[in-house]
Chains A and B, each alone.
Chain A
Amino acid sequence: GNSVTQMEGPVTLSEEAFLTINCTYTATGYPSLFWYVQYPGEGLQLLLKATKADDKGSNKGFEATYRKETTSFHLEKGSVQVSDSAVYFCALSDGSGGATNKLIFGTGTLLAVQP
């Protein structure tokens, strides 16, 4: 079945460091891919998405490119800030003709940015 695997955390970085959080997926068909973020004490928010191969999603300085050949959707940011500290979830939509179109999530990666 469809699944998402993302790197385990926590990831601890200093402010202005480069961030990569790896995400790979297994899916039949052509799913859409997402990154969600959960700030401390808040609900999940959509950070960015990509709906087809080679698409690049971007938001708030974060980017991720849908790579079909490597089945990956790694999240990157060139210079992290303390305010980026949160849990990041990679997800795919079961949208390949499936009846549900539900999202399948990875286990989440905790990012802690130190000043």
Chain B
Amino acid sequence: GAGVSQSPSNKVTEKGKDVELRCDPISGHTALYWYRQSLGQGLEFLIYFQGNSAPDKSGLPSDRFSAERTGGSVSTLTIQRTQQEDSAVYLCASSLVGGRGYTFGSGTRLTVV
């Protein structure tokens, strides 16, 4: 597609429920990143996919967070047993070569009540 598409744009969930956030990167972009933007915080790196290489999961804050990328394209970020501190905007970005010329999606605003 023309840009990075994320869905849903907004998600309100009850504490303890699982949520899935979707990212559809720009066609042909081999690198895909997930970041989290919390109120008053910068962008926190979560996970990085590059081609067929093993993903860099070093930023995932706990084992409740996981992500997969199917067929080298669409990615899903899953948060299990959501907590209120998980409330944030989750941003996805893709690029042709890792670390250069990121294109960001508009994000998913997650609110855990």
The answer to whether A and B assemble together is: yes
Contact of B99 among A32, A106, A107 (CB under 8 A): A32
Partner of A42, one of B45, B58, B59, B106: B106
- Which positions 71-86 of chain A face chain B at CB distance < 8 Å? none
Asked if B62 is at the interface of the complex by the 8 Å CB criterion, the answer is: no
> B interface, how many residues as a size bin?
20 to 34
Decide: B98 and A44 in contact? CB cutoff 8 A.
Answer: no
Question: Do A43 and B91 have beta carbons less than 8 Å apart?
Answer: yes
Residue of A nearest to B92 (CB): A43
Mark contacts of A75-115 with chain B using CB atoms, 8 A cut-off: 1 yes-contact digit, 0 otherwise.
00000000000000101011100011111111110000000
Instruction: Give the interface of A toward B (CB within 8 A).
Output: 4, 32, 36, 42-46, 89, 91, 93-95, 99-108
> B-side interface residues toward A, CB under 8 Å?
4, 31, 33, 35, 40-43, 45, 48, 50, 53, 56, 58-59, 91, 93, 97-102, 104-107
